[in-house]
Amino acid sequence: MNDREILGIFHEHGALLEGHFILSSGLHSDRYIQCALVLQHPQVAERLGRELAAKLGNTGASVVVAPALGGILVAHEVARALNARALFTERQEGRMTFRRGFSLARNEPTLVVEDVLTTGESTRETMAAVEEAGGKVVGAGSLVDRSGGAVNLGLARTALVTLTVQNYDPSQCPLCRDGIPARKPGSREIRGQGSGSTVRG
Ligand SMILES: [Zn+2]
């Protein structure tokens, strides 16, 4: 599948949102990609996982790791395609770590994936958790790269579709300046402009 076909799938499931959003990185944006709307369909998720696995190439990975929550299904489907294990990291006291008894063999070849790559920070933190657990990161990927390909993780990285989306520091955000309420997708929080308070919508 090419970029256009992948984007077609996202459009078809209403996963490309426009408005004023607070990304998980804390940055603001006028566009948001809600992968969960695509991944809610297991057959579509499986197909995207297969595509991403193929694009990641022959790395010999026996495990695929993603940061929770958004990446879990991506890791699961890439792992299905590779006949590998699927694990996820979670934040514990602000630190990305393996929980639930997950472990890696010494130098186990590991892929790190996520749904949407914006700054690459959660992938980076997951890579660090893999190394700390004794694994060896052999590649990284995401369904969507919204950095326009700018993020450098220091190793081969791929995405099914690459977009260039403008992100804003909250203090510089033109949408905040215009008083447009910001939405944190996946939650019901609405942040009023300037007040810094959080109101339940
Ligand atoms: Zn804003």
What is the model's pTM?
Answer: 0.85
Q: What share of the chain has pLDDT > 70, as a percent?
A: 92
Beta bridge partners of 32: 17
Residue the block writes with tokens 């990185």: 25
Contact predicate 4/28, CB 8 Å: no
Task: Give residue 169 CA to ligand 1 midpoint distance, Å.
Answer: 8
CA dist 117 and 109 (Å) reads 21
Task: Give residue 149 CA to ligand 1 midpoint distance, Å.
Answer: 23
What is the predicted pLDDT for the residue at 160? 96
Task: Give residue 168 CA to ligand 1 midpoint distance, Å.
Answer: 7
Q: What share of the chain has pLDDT > 90, as a percent?
A: 82
Q: Residue 89 to residues 77, 106, 134, 162: CA-CA distances in angstroms?
A: 16, 17, 14, 24
Label residue 25 by pLDDT band (50, 70, 90): confident
At 8, which amino acid appears? Answer: G
pLDDT tens-place string over residues 54-108: 999 999 999 999 999 999 999 999 999 999 999 999 999 999 999 999 999 999 9
Task: Give residue 49 CA to ligand 1 midpoint distance, Å.
Answer: 32
Label residue 193 by pLDDT band (50, 70, 90): very low
pLDDT tens-place string over residues 33-42: 999 999 999 9
What is the predicted pLDDT for the residue at 2? 87
What is the predicted pLDDT for the residue at 199? 35
pLDDT for residue 191 is more than 70: no
Task: Give residue 118 CA to ligand 1 midpoint distance, Å.
Answer: 16
Radius of gyration over alpha carbons of the chain, in Å? 17
- Omega within 30 of 0 (cis) for the link into 69: yes
Q: Residue 122 to residues 31, 79, 80, 125, 176: CA-CA distances in angstroms?
A: 19, 19, 22, 5, 25
Q: Which of helix, strand or coil describes residue 87?
A: strand
What does the pLDDT average to over 131-156?
95
Q: Which of helix, strand or coil describes residue 125?
A: helix
Residues 6+ apart with CB under 8 A from 5: none
Task: Give residue 153 CA to ligand 1 midpoint distance, Å.
Answer: 27
Residue the block writes with tokens 């933190």: 125
pLDDT for residue 53 is more than 50: yes
Specify the range with the lowest mean pLDDT, choosing from 16-25, 58-67, 185-194.
185-194
Task: Give residue 42 CA to ligand 1 midpoint distance, Å.
Answer: 33
**Residues bordering ligand 1, an ion, CB closer than 5 Å:** 28, 173, 175-176, 182
Helix (H) or strand (E) holding 128: helix 121-132
Task: Give residue 162 CA to ligand 1 midpoint distance, Å.
Answer: 23
